[in-house]
Structure 1
Amino acid sequence: MFRTSEWKALRYSTYAYYLDRLGWATGFEQKITSYCFRRGTGNAVDGAATTAVRDQILRHNPQTGVFCGSYINEKVRFIVQDAVLDQPTDSGFLRAFTHMSLTCDPRAPQTVPDNVRDALPPDPELVQLKLEQQELRLELKRLYGHAFVQGSIGTEAGEEYRQLNRQIATVTKTLEQELKREYRRDYFYRIHNEELEKIIKKVKVVTPTYVEPVVKH
């Protein structure tokens, strides 16, 4: 059991934030949440136990259909072709291709390269906010001097300046998150075709040596 504090409870928002960062750092295509663990547990138990036991484990009321509606794996764990041809199915192969780790790629980018950022046009909303901030900053400097931040406390113009700063920070953070998500989504969209092209063209790929991380308890 790992503890972050001896007396302070871990907030769910903090826990969810850590899970998201963990999934991002390890290269998962999908966002990692606590729901992933519940869903994974439910699908592992489903078929190995009775419906009643499965619902009991997940604390679902019986006969409500919650599992089939919200938890069952969208990738059907059944090969229809094998059933039609009356041939056995490789269960290990089937499990591997219905697991969310199938699309996990440690090479997935975690940040956006500077050359990609530089090629993007500036956001109009952010540009407008910064222009308003600069104009108000010059006006406050004229009225209160270099210590305008402290001198304008309690004034309408000072509050407007601080509100603009908060807006700029919010818009900048939102744009940064959207840019990272889109760049990462584009990577997963094109990487499969790029890998196939390398195989077809017989491009030699140098695989880096895997170094097992040292885990300290």
Structure 2
Amino acid sequence: MERQSLDAGEERAIEPKAWRRGAANVANGNASDAVRDQMMRHDPKWATFNSAYINENVGFHLQNAFLDEPTEDSLLAMLSHIGLMRDPRASKNMVPDEVWELMPPDPEIEALKAERVELKGGQFRIKGTENEERIRALTKLIAAKEAQRKKKIQQEYRANYFHNRPTWDIEADGEEEEFVEPAIDLHIPERAQLAEILCNQPDDLSSSELLELRIQAAELMVALCGRRETAKRNRIRRRAQADVTVKEESPGPDPFPLLMDRKQCPHCIGDETLSQEERTFKYCRPAVMYDHFDRKHAQQLGGVKQMSCNHPKCKEEALEFKHLNHFKNHVERVHGVKLRA
């Protein structure tokens, strides 16, 4: 919810707590404190509402009250509401590439990287070495530091954007900046069709056509529950499109050939709950694919009594294997992918 609200252009992230805060502030003043705390399941003696949930924007027109003038309560109620500032041109990660290129490297991160390089001594494999534990700890620490730095830069850039955006609009002197709809690229067909139905509905729909769209949306939601995305989806490069469209497979080479690339997972390629990009995903090195197979599939396949190859070409033949090594031998001999023994 936080990421979606930021990508929608909200100045502040809307989290689940925001809805609880909204409900509590509506009850505050309209109901007794005891009823409010009971509704929020707060212990009255800890004053949880006043310390964490009360609206930081005071809904009282102090200036007009001091000047003995009529207060503008309706205007204040609107201005003190959450999510007042929204710009559809903003997103969570809106830092331009040229800004990232101009950012100087972090000295602390560079020092940690230099220490890791020195400990590795030019070796790629560190398993069993004297400094293995320290190198792995440095790798985790570097990743955490880089993620923190990236998040901080994104937050500061968004804060600067929303602070200066009104000034930029005034200085534009009436010249409106052309707004381009953000490109949405969905590689799961069911999700793309559902987005098309929900976001691009014609205005002149009849009752029967609207009912048909509702039925299609419900069917797509059910079908989408049977699909899944894996963690590696962020590494799959997808070309941005101007509109949300359903990707149609153009005639071309077989996406699931019998002879696979040695960096492809022989189990994921037959998982129909994944998208085509994830099923045919190629890891950077065979060793990384080996780690993925051993971590995700080896134990699961080892506990199955009747093991079979779920490659699209092998499913038709209904091949069965006695044990995991038998399956690995088949994968190496037929599909050209060698797995760890």
TM-score (norm 2): 0.47
Q: Do 1:55 and 1:62's aligned partners in 2 also have CA atoms closer than 8 Å?
A: yes
Match of residue 72 from structure 1: 54
Unaligned runs of 5+ in 1: 1-18, 141-147
Give RMSD over aligned pairs: 3.0
Match of residue 202 from structure 1: 174
The answer as to 2:106 corresponding to 1:134 is no
Q: Do 2:11 and 2:85's aligned partners in 1 also have CA atoms closer than 8 Å?
A: yes
The answer as to 2:152 corresponding to 1:191 is no
The answer as to 2:17 corresponding to 1:35 is yes
Match of residue 138 from structure 2: 164
Q: Do 1:153 and 1:159's aligned partners in 2 also have CA atoms closer than 8 Å?
A: no
Distance 1:133 1:51, change over 3 A: closer
Once residues 175 and 76 of structure 1 are traced to their aligned partners in structure 2, the CA distance between those partners, rounded to angstroms, is 34
The residue type equivalent to 1:128 in the other structure is A
Q: Which stretch of the first structure deviates more once superposed, 202-211 or 153-162?
A: 202-211
Distance 1:208 1:78, change over 3 A: farther
Once residues 209 and 108 of structure 1 are traced to their aligned partners in structure 2, the CA distance between those partners, rounded to angstroms, is 11
Report 1 or 2 for greater relative contact order, CA contacts < 8 Å, sequence distance ≥ 6. Answer: 1
Q: After superposition, what is the alpha-carbon deviation per residue over 1:143-192, rounded to whole angstroms, capped at 9, x for unaligned? A: xxxxx51xx42321333333332232222222211121121121122112
Unaligned runs of 5+ in 2: 183-195, 201-213, 219-341
The residue type equivalent to 1:122 in the other structure is P
Q: Which stretch of the first structure deviates more once superposed, 26-35 or 58-67?
A: 58-67
More helix by share: 1
Once residues 49 and 64 of structure 1 are traced to their aligned partners in structure 2, the CA distance between those partners, rounded to angstroms, is 19
Once residues 156 and 72 of structure 2 are traced to their aligned partners in structure 1, the CA distance between those partners, rounded to angstroms, is 37
Q: After superposition, what is the alpha-carbon deviation per residue over 1:57-93, rounded to whole angstroms, capped at 9, x for unaligned? A: 12234476443333221212122355454536352x3
Aligned-residue sequence identity (percent) comes to 35
The answer as to 2:100 corresponding to 1:110 is no
Q: Do 1:28 and 1:105's aligned partners in 2 also have CA atoms closer than 8 Å?
A: yes
Q: After superposition, what is the alpha-carbon deviation per residue over 1:76-111, rounded to whole angstroms, capped at 9, x for unaligned? A: 2122355454536352x3322111111233322422
Once residues 132 and 61 of structure 2 are traced to their aligned partners in structure 1, the CA distance between those partners, rounded to angstroms, is 66
Which residues in structure 2 correspond to 1:67-106 (within 5 Å)?
A: 67-83=49-65, 84-87=67-70, 89=72, 91=74, 93-106=75-88
For residue 37 of structure 1, report the CA deviation from its aligned partner. 1.7
The residue type equivalent to 2:12 in the other structure is Q
Q: Do 2:120 and 2:135's aligned partners in 1 also have CA atoms closer than 8 Å?
A: yes
The structure number with the bigger radius of gyration is 2
